Amino acid sequence: MTARPIGVFDSGLGGLTVLRALIDLLPNEPVVYFGDTGRFPYGPKPGDEVLKYALQIGDVLAERDAKLLVVACNSAASVALDALRARHDIPVIGVIDPGMRAAIATSRSGRIGVIGTVGTIASGAYQRAADASGTDVTLTCAACPGFVEFVEAGDVDSDQVHVLAERLLAPVRDAGVDTLVLGCTHYPMLARTIGDAMGRDVILVSSADETAFEVRELLAAGDLAAPPESSARHAFLTSGDVETFRRLGARFLGPEVASVQRWEW
């Protein structure tokens, strides 16, 4: 048993949707969360640049004595998981395998859609996760540039975002998928709009809960869980503006966003 924190990171605030699931499932686990809001967004950036950022953040969290790393950003997980695992001798998990697993367990037809940032979809990481699962599923993937920006602007339900969703999701809807993976931290906030565009028969899957279950299993397997009587204190680091992080963080996560520190690269 150990009171060392779980390290969680994202390009910004979106990873707090994953952290919400983690805190709900493991309320006495302390977490140190790094949001790279100063270099946000990762989605449109080249993979080697995102890899470099992810390795830097991994080092910061390892210096904070993280006992396990959660890459809560799909764009980072799609390019950096192997390198992070090679660099650190603690368990490292991303959101892509858990998301794929949840979708495979949900889908009846085996026709699954995946949406994500340009970087995530271009990396082919979801297709690799599906291939590695050993199941016979067919993926239809679509990048959704613009979705993240709408969420960041606090707009999840306007006519404009509906029109964009109709256009970007048409290929996935036309492929007849019965399950859609929300392969980006921000997309759960657009679930209603995405659900409207996809139709009622399509089940939306986010990786947050499944990732939290995987963390719990890894902690148990490695005897890394916090003592049951401990009360968790969370720490937040941001490479951007502290006040903005605190304000928007409360929207993504809730009142747990209290102690926020600025990180200078």
Q: Give 181 or 219: the residue with its C-beta nearer to ligand DGL.
A: 181
Report the length, in residues, of the chain.
265
CA 238 – CA 264 distance, rounded (Å): 9
User: 73, 177, 189, 237: which is the annotated catalytic residue?
Assistant: 73
Active site residue 184: yes
Which one, of 25, 26, 30, 36, lies nearest residue 4 by Cα?
30
Instruction: Check if the beta carbon of residue 181 is closer than 8 Å to that of residue 207.
Output: yes
Instruction: Check if the beta carbon of residue 186 is closer than 8 Å to that of residue 193.
Output: no
Smallest gap from Cβ 257 to ligand DGL, in A, equals 17
Beta strands in 2-100 (DSSP E): 6-10, 31-35, 68-71, 92-93
| Residues near ligand DGL, by CB under 6 A | 10-12, 14, 40-43, 73-75, 117, 120, 148, 184-186
Smallest gap from Cβ 9 to ligand DGL, in A, equals 10
Smallest gap from Cβ 197 to ligand DGL, in A, equals 19
Smallest gap from Cβ 258 to ligand DGL, in A, equals 22
CA 42 – CA 51 distance, rounded (Å): 10
Active site residue 73: yes
Which one, of 143, 133, 146, lies nearest residue 105 by Cα?
133
Residue 265, both tokens: 């690269």
Residue 242, both tokens: 């502290």
15 DSSP 8-state letter: T
Instruction: Check if the beta carbon of residue 232 is closer than 8 Å to that of residue 27.
Output: yes
Q: Give 14 or 226: the residue with its C-beta nearer to ligand DGL.
A: 14
Which one, of 4, 184, 185, lies nearest residue 91 by Cα?
4
Smallest gap from Cβ 29 to ligand DGL, in A, equals 22
Q: Give 110 or 146: the residue with its C-beta nearer to ligand DGL.
A: 146
Q: Give 181 or 224: the residue with its C-beta nearer to ligand DGL.
A: 181
Closest residue to bound ligand DGL by CB: 43
33 DSSP 8-state letter: E
User: 72, 184, 190, 226: which is the annotated catalytic residue?
Assistant: 184
Active-site residues, by number, are 73, 184
